[in-house]
Amino acid sequence: MKEKILEIIGNYNKDKTRLLDMLHDIQNVIGYVDDESILILNQELKISISEIKEVISFYHFYSNEPMGKVNIYLNNSVTSEMHGRGAVLDAFEKECNVTEGSVSADGLFGLFPTSCIGMNDQEPAAIINGKIFTRLTPYRVHEIVKSLGNGIKIEDLIYEGDGGGRNSLPEIHSMVCNNIRRRGALLTHDYKFFDTTNNLLSEKSPQEVIQIVEDSNIRGRGGAGFPTGIKWKFGRKAEGEHKVIICNADEGEPGTFKDRVILTEFPEMVFEGMVIAAYSVGADIGLLYLRYEYKYLLNYLNGILDKMRDKHLLGNNIDGIEAFNFDIRIQLGAGAYICGEESALIESLEGKRGEPRDKPPFPVEKGYLNYPTIVNNVETLASIPKILTKGADWFVGLGDKASTGTKILSISGDCNYPGIYEVEWGTSIKDVLDMCGAFNIQAVQVGGPSGALIGSKDFGRNLSYTDLPTGGSIIIFGEQRNLLSDVVMNFMEFFIEESCGSCSTCRNMPAVLKKRFTKILDGKGVQSDIDDLINWSELLKVSRCGLGQTAANPITTSINNFRHLYDRLIQPGIEFDTGFCLEDSVKDSCSAVGRQPTLHHM
């Protein structure tokens, strides 16, 4: 086995920045990263054992302990819960003889929860040995586990058939469905792939290209909304031995799955967007950071890159343009929402824990390996080729003034037709609900857990950078849902699970808030508890990155928009309650000694 590990390390030229790849490969061979491999890594890479373990223990999909032969990662996003996760979990636990979060005694099955895997429109979904299984039911679980027990390979278990579109290509062979329900400027097939690179690029200077992008007024689609043209301009000006274009395909915000669909159906446009970006800023290194959950797309995407190399759309002197050298490598993530934050993503690309960097300096000055780096979202990059071919005016004609173009929404939850909807910016929430067949709606989560929970009084508001901004996640909750115990709680647990922990406020405050929130849910709350939640949330604003800064949003936006739900739970006329319950606190010891005490209440 030592030879094999040495070979893996050698495949990456003993380059520490490729530690993530080495760990993936080791885990593929051994099933987990064992101490012997860690020792070999330690000797070969000259980093201490605990520094290697530091990386392993950061990412959800690595393990330093033996895993099952079959490992099931069951999505625990709120829509998964809404569509029957509980029963599916029970079925897995029973059929596999395992409790969630552990490996079965016979070592056959590992069963683990995992944060949103980007399948919110086909829940409950799970990743089983790297393959995605969607729309699970207890019956289906029974079939899958039985078949696995009979020695049937995981690949052959996708007998619903493939999910349509390119999901049925042999390179993907996946049951994931695209569910594209509404196509707009970006998703229509009216563009010949690589047209811009083949016909336009050699005629235009980098500055001219940047000008068109700036004139189109396109802003980042990853959530923060920074104007893309301006970012590229900074990138052009920045000086460095190398420059880097990164495509952010970490898509971790619960409820978003549009990047997955773009990468399945239009990867050519994403990669072409990267080539155009590289030409504009003068970059030579290209990286696409693909979240681990989308590993099933990896071979397929690499195949497209190979084809581009064959056509001289990547490599040296691209498209005959002298000294335009650029290539793209896909880096697989390992399970961490925070790695979607651009500086954490860069740390991860360098083979480290995904902890956000302090800004300034921004990536555009000092990014990947300290080279000037542009990070753009999948959708942003996919929009670029058409903008260049059809012109900035065409793009400005779509959407509204501050928010040009279209936005691809990922819609899930209580509606008849969950899926992908491309709408012009400026579309109202009411229209969105009408589009997807949503009736008797209590609330809509706009922008994922880090966004806002809004109620019917706000359904007239519009999606735009100036009103309701969104990276595209729209989760719909019907009248029957318990917004506080089911939705807000799920989101708070998400932030607690996904905080990197390196800054004090984000590491500690969400748990404090959750505790006080739970007190209210348990019927022990008083009026001042609501005020506490509002006031304490303020401290999160000094967190280092967007995760911490928005981690109280589920609580604060639900208090703002659904105050009556809180008020209803508060004990009327009582000003103080510690929340402490003597009976509950001594329950365990009572059952241990088998006696009931006489409790003296104050």
For ligand FMN, the binding residues (CB under 6 A) are 220-224, 226, 248, 250-253, 338, 340-342, 375-377, 380, 545-547
* Structure tokens that stand for 9 in this block: 């390390």
Least distance from C-beta 345 to ligand FMN, angstroms?
Answer: 7
**With respect to other proteins, which residue has the nearer C-beta, 528 or 596?**
528
Amino acid at 93: E
- Give the span between the Cα atoms of 318 and 326, in whole angstroms: 7
Per CB under 8 A, the segment of 163-171, 235-243, 427-435, 492-500 that binds other proteins is 492-500
Beta strands in 209-295, from DSSP E residues, in sequence order:
244-249, 285-290
Least distance from C-beta 538 to other proteins, angstroms?
Answer: 7
Per CB under 8 A, the segment of 128-136, 312-320, 431-439, 495-503 that binds other proteins is 495-503
**With respect to ligand FMN, which residue has the nearer C-beta, 379 or 458?**
379
Site string for other proteins, 36-55 (x = CB under 8 A): ----------xxxxxx-xx-
Residue 185 vs residues 40, 237, 269: alpha-carbon distances, Å: 52, 31, 13
Site string for other proteins, 501-530 (x = CB under 8 A): xxxxx-xxxxxx--xx--------------
Task: Give me the sign of the Cα torsion angle 117, 118, 120, 126.
Answer: negative
Per CB under 8 A, the segment of 20-28, 209-217, 436-444, 534-542 that binds other proteins is 534-542
- Give the span between the Cα atoms of 190 and 203, in whole angstroms: 22
Least distance from C-beta 588 to other proteins, angstroms?
Answer: 15
Residue 505 binding result from other proteins, ligand FMN, none, given CB thresholds of 5 to 8 Å by partner type: other proteins
Cβ neighbours, 10 Å, residue 339: 29
**With respect to other proteins, which residue has the nearer C-beta, 11 or 504?**
504
Sequence length of the chain is 602
- Give the span between the Cα atoms of 203 and 200, in whole angstroms: 5
DSSP 451-484: SEEEEGGGTT-BBSSSSB--SSEEEEEETTS-II
Residue 333 binding result from ligand FMN, other proteins, none, given CB thresholds of 5 to 8 Å by partner type: none
**With respect to ligand FMN, which residue has the nearer C-beta, 89 or 344?**
344
Least distance from C-beta 479 to ligand FMN, angstroms?
Answer: 31
Which member of 176, 270, 496, 570 binds other proteins (CB under 8 A)?
Answer: 496
Q: What is the CB-side half-sphere exposure of residue 60 using CA atoms within 13 A?
A: 28
Q: Say what angle helices 49-56 and 35-45 make with each other, to 10 degrees.
A: 120
**With respect to ligand FMN, which residue has the nearer C-beta, 68 or 367?**
367
Residue 547 binding result from ligand FMN, other proteins, none, given CB thresholds of 5 to 8 Å by partner type: ligand FMN
Question: Quick one: which of 520, 119, 33 has its CA closest to 291?
Answer: 119
Least distance from C-beta 60 to other proteins, angstroms?
Answer: 9
3-state SS, residue 206: helix
Residue 512 binding result from other proteins, ligand FMN, none, given CB thresholds of 5 to 8 Å by partner type: other proteins
382 near 266, Cβ under 8 Å? yes
Per CB under 8 A, the segment of 285-293, 490-498, 555-563, 564-572 that binds other proteins is 490-498
Beta bridge partners of 210: none
Show contacts of 353-357: CB within 8 Å, 24+ apart: 353/54, 353/55, 353/58, 353/500, 354/58, 354/59, 354/500, 355/500, 355/502, 356/500, 356/502, 356/544, 356/545, 356/547
Residue 538 binding result from other proteins, ligand FMN, none, given CB thresholds of 5 to 8 Å by partner type: other proteins
Which member of 542, 581, 582, 590 binds other proteins (CB under 8 A)?
Answer: 542
447 near 223, Cβ under 8 Å? yes
Which member of 21, 27, 58, 283 binds other proteins (CB under 8 A)?
Answer: 58
Q: Which residues bind other proteins (CB under 8 A)?
A: 46-51, 53-54, 57-58, 336, 353, 358, 360, 496-505, 507-512, 515-516, 532, 536, 538-539, 541-544
